[in-house]
Structure 1
Amino acid sequence: MKAVILAGGLGTRIAEESDYKPKPMVEVGGRPLLWHIMKSYAHHGIKEFVICLGYKGYVIKEFFFNYYRHTADLSIDLRTGAHEVLNSQSEDWKVTLIDTGADTMTGGRLKRAAPYLGSETFCLTYGDGLSDVDITAEIAFHRKHGRLATVAAVQPPGRFGVLNLASDGGVTSFEEKPSDEIGWINGGFFVVEPSAIDYVSGDEMPWEQDPLKNLARDGKLAAFTHHGFWQPCDTLRDKRHLESLWESGKAPWATWIR
């Protein structure tokens, strides 16, 4: 099975980083978000990736083109340029990098990637969110329910606490906003049948708009509820939070090192 990763957006809300690199290349623990996502899929046995490039896609191309040597011990003859790879810790992944256009929407990027996907079920996600979603269980759920697409439904953590006020102006209690008040949202980890791509009309179509709405209308969209960790990296605040989790040695999404 292949995993498609949408990695072409601008990332305007984290411009401090994305002015110089694509958002999926923002680093957590010295590694790009994209690498963390791929490690998660590889942990579930999915090691073939189709990455949809757009904004500053050359940065992602250069990262993977040089990845084998950057993770290796090398012997280099500086006079001739001859070199020998002595030892490499590179992952056993196959990565296909597709330029899907600077202004193409998410659905359009998926449609452009279709020729590289074949006729088998595939996974789909965004390049800017980390989670410990059980991808193996989601694939099994998808196959059991027989829909054209399955989305991991998540409940984002409440960002603001709640004050309970008394009539005299005092505060009777304070509590964190529970996540279940927000409801279920698109968590960005999909399992998809190739025919679902027919719901995308062209480059201008966001996957999250008419395609998902029409799949739901036609009874072709299932929801796999995920109650664990889920965190997008949209802002510097999000990045710092993910960094602190990584530095603690207890990053919830890093299932491959548990």
Structure 2
Amino acid sequence: MVIQSINLSVNQQDFDLPVAILCGGKGTRLREETEFRPKPMINVGNRPIIWHIMKTYSYYGLRNFMLCLGYKGEMIREYFFNYDWNHSDILLELGTKQITTLNNRHDEETWRIWLVDTGQETMTGGRLKRLSTYLDQMGSDIFLATYGDGVCDVNIAALLDFHYSHGKLATITAVRPASRFGELVIEDHLVSYFQEKPQTSQGWINGGYFVFARKVLDLIEGDDTVFEEQPLKNLAALGELAVYKHDGFWQCMDTYREMELLKNLYESGQARWKVW
């Protein structure tokens, strides 16, 4: 697939690039919540955080989602399997149990969702690798990826335009919160070195919101591969990891404090990631 320029809008209906979302981790730093549900299913407002992430991509016309399931993945399956039932007006005839969906429709009805069991103990790279068959079936040479616990107001259309402009295998979105994540050493819009969770930071960290060529999966050996370790380091060493700098809003939900922050922002009408 070759696209020279991308001008996505909320009205574009048929944009086929898949979006992989990592949903399988145990979320041990949020054990108060994740003992009962997977972290992507923690509500921000009246919807789980994974829904907020998918709405951002959907706003830019991307509606093919590949969810990499693991820990308590059945709860994510059930949520989306029952989505139409729970978010539409329904006529239920008790005697016959006949169900009729009434005229109103919801904005998410065009979403196509792959619910893929990627294993209970599989690492992030292994989860992406397990999507290979489905990516091949779609015939997609490019896919996007992110984590199931971070919201952002990044312009996905501009991110894709940037990816196609540089011709590298991978693009990573760099953000500027307090550093606890992967440090990016950036030179001329390329990542020259990647270090996960460093002791010091230069100010830019791994914010997720990746764009990858299909060939990136060849760098992943198997289920035990942590994507943020050797694969990203190899891409950086090869000069194939470009960086898209995002100065806007980004926030993960890794701790109880961060969960409360996101909930408070949403409830107070200050959810800057809510571009839809």
- TM norm. shorter chain > 0.5: yes
Residue 127 of structure 1: how far off its partner (Å): 0.2
Structure 1 residue ranges without an equivalent (≥5) = 160-180
1:115 paired with 2:136, answer no
Structure 2 residue ranges without an equivalent (≥5) = 1-16, 181-200
1:79 paired with 2:100, answer no
What is residue 257 of structure 2 aligned with on the other side? Answer: 237
Checking the alignment, whether the CA contact within 8 Å between 1:200 and 1:211 is kept in structure 2 is yes
Residue 158 of structure 1: how far off its partner (Å): 7.5
Checking the alignment, whether the CA contact within 8 Å between 1:68 and 1:90 is kept in structure 2 is no
Residue 250 of structure 1: how far off its partner (Å): 2.3
Checking the alignment, whether the CA contact within 8 Å between 2:179 and 2:205 is kept in structure 1 is no
- Aligned runs of 1:155-194 on 2, under 5 Å? 155-157=176-178, 182-194=202-214
What TM-score comes out, normalization by structure 2 length? Answer: 0.83
Equivalent-residue separation in structure 1 for 2:140 and 2:113 (angstroms):
18
Residue 95 of structure 1: how far off its partner (Å): 0.6
Residue 88 of structure 1: how far off its partner (Å): 3.0
What is residue 221 of structure 1 aligned with on the other side? Answer: 241
Structure 1 vs Structure 2 CA RMSD: 1.5
Equivalent-residue separation in structure 1 for 2:43 and 2:202 (angstroms):
29
What is residue 36 of structure 1 aligned with on the other side? Answer: 52
Which segment is superposed worse, 236-245 or 34-43?
236-245
Deviation string 1:122-156 (CA, Å, 9 cap, x unpaired) is 11000000110111111111111111000001111
Checking the alignment, whether the CA contact within 8 Å between 1:40 and 1:254 is kept in structure 2 is yes
Equivalent-residue separation in structure 2 for 1:90 and 1:144 (angstroms):
31
* Identity between Structure 1 and Structure 2 (%): 51
Report the secondary structure of 2:177's partner residue: coil
Report the secondary structure of 1:151's partner residue: strand
Report the secondary structure of 2:130's partner residue: helix
Q: In structure 1, which of residues 91, 94, 97 is the aligned counterpart of residue 115 of structure 2?
A: 97
Report the secondary structure of 1:211's partner residue: helix
What is residue 253 of structure 1 aligned with on the other side? Answer: 273
Equivalent-residue separation in structure 2 for 1:214 and 1:182 (angstroms):
21
List, as ranges, runs of 4+ consecutive aligned residues in structure 1 with deviation greater than 4 Å.
none
Equivalent-residue separation in structure 2 for 1:77 and 1:210 (angstroms):
57
Equivalent-residue separation in structure 2 for 1:32 and 1:191 (angstroms):
24
Equivalent-residue separation in structure 2 for 1:208 and 1:122 (angstroms):
17
Equivalent-residue separation in structure 2 for 1:43 and 1:74 (angstroms):
26
Higher gyration radius (CA): 1
What TM-score comes out, normalization by structure 1 length? Answer: 0.88
1:204 paired with 2:220, answer no
Checking the alignment, whether the CA contact within 8 Å between 2:170 and 2:210 is kept in structure 1 is yes
Equivalent-residue separation in structure 2 for 1:149 and 1:182 (angstroms):
21
Equivalent-residue separation in structure 1 for 2:76 and 2:37 (angstroms):
9
Tell me which amino acid in the other structure corresponds to 1:99.
D
